[in-house]
């Protein structure tokens, strides 16, 4: 059977596979588009399985919002080049929209949800892997809702923040979200810092202060002051506001009669150990192997 350009085009639009792969699949199935599509899906799944072990530490953070409900998602690729690819960008945005619509934050369950075009998230992910040649993954999803004000801020495509306030307005919420993006506080308030974290810091500071040889009561005051400084550095409410370091974020919110209900910050690849290639060692190994 003769394989026409229109047949190849139709299969490509249907599966997202490359033009030559579509033509090959049609030739192998004697022009049967359904069987060709099925074979391409199987091939795509096989490719996805092979790439699953490869580290995907690049990608994009995307926020989708509808009124007082917002979701933030991280979708990973292996390289910055693919993270900027229009197909990857479209997939990441479709994932965020689907997450907003579904309400699920369970990544495993989310794989079975449908995107706006009717494809499941997993089917679209597999097709994208086949198209771009890299491991792709939906890493995490968080949802924020139910507060008076919900706002977001994204710094490029690598950092995203969603914040919910009781009281205040959208401009204030966005300013605080911008601060969170820039300063990356680990906790909202001092009360949120785990006791073991605080105890470890206090122990380290006490050991350092003891080396000064000062009396115990002076050491206690030194340690208390340093612990308070530590708490201000790692908490949102204790940090100096990024737009005006004469006031803390806590005082900024108090002045507006607002309080933080929830805050989520994603940064692409944080916590993922990215493989570092040692090209010198690689070349030396090849030289020794050839000798």
- Of the two residues 284 and 121, the one the predictor is more confident about is 121
Please report, for the chain, the start and end positions of each structural domain, with discontinuous segments joined by +. Answer: 5-51, 54-145, 190-253
73 and 61 Cβ atoms separated by less than 8 Å: yes
pLDDT for the residue 285: 58
- Please write down the long-range contacts of 198-204, taking CB distance under 8 Å and 24 or more positions apart: 198/227, 198/231, 201/227, 201/230, 202/227
pLDDT per residue as tens digits for the range 84-142:
999 999 999 999 999 999 999 999 999 999 999 999 999 999 889 888 888 899 999 99
pLDDT per residue as tens digits for the range 39-84:
776 666 445 444 455 767 899 999 999 999 999 999 999 999 999 9
Which strands, in side-by-side order, build the sheet including 137-145? 58-66, 69-77, 137-145
253 and 235 Cβ atoms separated by less than 8 Å: no
Domain 54-145: top CATH class: alpha beta
Closest CA to 143 of 61, 70, 75: 70
102 and 113 Cβ atoms separated by less than 8 Å: yes
- Domain 190-253 bears CATH identifier 1.10.286.20: yes
For 140, the token pair is 């995490």
pLDDT for the residue 16: 64
pLDDT per residue as tens digits for the range 136-158:
999 999 999 989 999 999 999 99
**Which residue has tokens 């993006």?**
181
- Which CATH code for domain 5-51? 1.10.8.10
Strand partners, 71: 64, 143
236 and 189 Cβ atoms separated by less than 8 Å: yes
Q: How confident is the model at residue 2 (pLDDT cuts 50, 70, 90)?
A: confident
Strand 240-241 versus strand 137-145 pairing type: unpaired
Q: How far is CA 55 from CA 82, 87, 134, in A?
A: 14, 20, 10
Q: What are phi and psi of 259, to 5 degrees?
A: -140, 150
Name the pTM for this structure.
Answer: 0.74
pLDDT at 223 exceeding the cut of 90: no
pLDDT per residue as tens digits for the range 169-196:
999 999 999 999 999 999 999 999 999 9
Neighbours of 241 (CB within 10 A): 19
Mean of the per-residue pLDDT values of the chain:
87
Contacts of 77 (CB under 8 A, 6+ apart): 56, 58, 59, 83, 88, 132, 134, 135, 136
Q: Return the ∠ at Cα 289 (arms to 287 and 291), rounded to 5°.
A: 70
H or E stretch including 203? helix 195-210
């Amino acid at each position: 059977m003769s394989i026409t350009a229109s047949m190849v085009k139709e299969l490509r639009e249907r599966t997202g596979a490359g033009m030559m792969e579509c033509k090959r699949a049609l030739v192998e199935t004697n022009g049967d588009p359904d069987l060709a599509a099925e074979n391409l899906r199987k091939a795509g799944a096989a490719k996805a399985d092979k790439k699953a072990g490869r580290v995907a530490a690049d990608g994009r953070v995307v926020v989708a919002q509808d009124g007082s409900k917002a979701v933030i998602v991280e979708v990973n690729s292996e390289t910055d080049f693919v993270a900027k690819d229009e197909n990857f960008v479209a997939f990441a945005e479709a994932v965020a929209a689907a997450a907003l619509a579904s309400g699920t934050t369970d990544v495993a369950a989310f794989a079975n949800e449908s995107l706006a075009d009717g494809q499941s998230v997993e089917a679209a992910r597999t097709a994208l892997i086949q198209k771009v040649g890299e491991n792709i993954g939906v890493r995490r999803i968080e949802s924020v809702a139910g507060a008076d004000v919900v706002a977001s801020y994204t710094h490029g495509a690598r950092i995203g923040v969603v914040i919910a306030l009781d009281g205040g307005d959208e401009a204030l919420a966005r300013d605080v979200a911008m601060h969170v993006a820039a300063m990356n506080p680990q906790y909202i308030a001092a009360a949120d810092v785990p006791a073991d974290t605080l105890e470890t810091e206090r122990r380290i500071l006490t050991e350092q202060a003891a080396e000064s040889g000062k009396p115990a009561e002076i050491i206690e005051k030194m340690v208390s002051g340093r612990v308070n400084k530590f708490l201000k550095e790692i908490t949102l409410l204790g940090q100096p506001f990024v737009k005006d370091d004469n006031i803390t974020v806590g005082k900024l919110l108090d002045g507006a009669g607002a309080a933080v209900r929830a805050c989520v910050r994603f940064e692409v690849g944080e916590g993922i150990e990215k493989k570092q290639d040692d090209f010198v060692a690689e070349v030396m190994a090849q030289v020794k192997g050839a000798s």
